[in-house]
Amino acid sequence: ELREQAQRDSLTQVYNHGYFLARLNQEAQAARENGHILALIMLDIDYFKEYNDQYGHVVGDQVLETMVQAIRLNVKHSDLVGRWGGEEFGVVLPGADTERALIVAERIRTTLASMHLQKDNRAIAPPTVSQGIATLPTHAKDAATLIDLADAALYRAKAQGRDQVRVTE
């Protein structure tokens, strides 16, 4: 039980950065050794700081929890979800190609847009999310490169207007 607690982010209950990274490396190595595919989605909540600044950190925490709900509603139990840091998350989809990862990412985006947040019985606009995708072995041969490419695609999504999904080039 303590080991499980140590692997989880205390707020969202997804894997923490360190454990997520270790599992991503394991999954990438297993995929390479077995000739399988694997997709990584990096997600970042757009303008997250504004939720904290305008509504307070309790609402900011609610936004993070809502993000995780949207992710969990659209991934399989065998997929890995981790908090990369702050308002950034990672999703590992073993056995998924780029097309499947795009479907999952779009579903996360639309699910998040339809979720309801409130403070003091007042509706708060749901957050939007920018996402980047890279796959192994199509785009990368190892976990480190996979992360770099998915992250670069994420930042391209942000630079091109946010609230969208981009695949690595």
Active-site annotation, residues: 87
DSSP per residue, the chain: -HHHHHTB-TTT-SBPHHHHHHHHHHHHHHHHHHT--EEEEEEEETTHHHHHHHH-HHHHHHHHHHHHHHHHTTS-TTSEEEEEETTEEEEEEET--HHHHHHHHHHHHHHHHH--EEETTEEEPPP-EEEEEEEETTT-SSHHHHHHHHHHHHHHHHHTTSSSEEE--
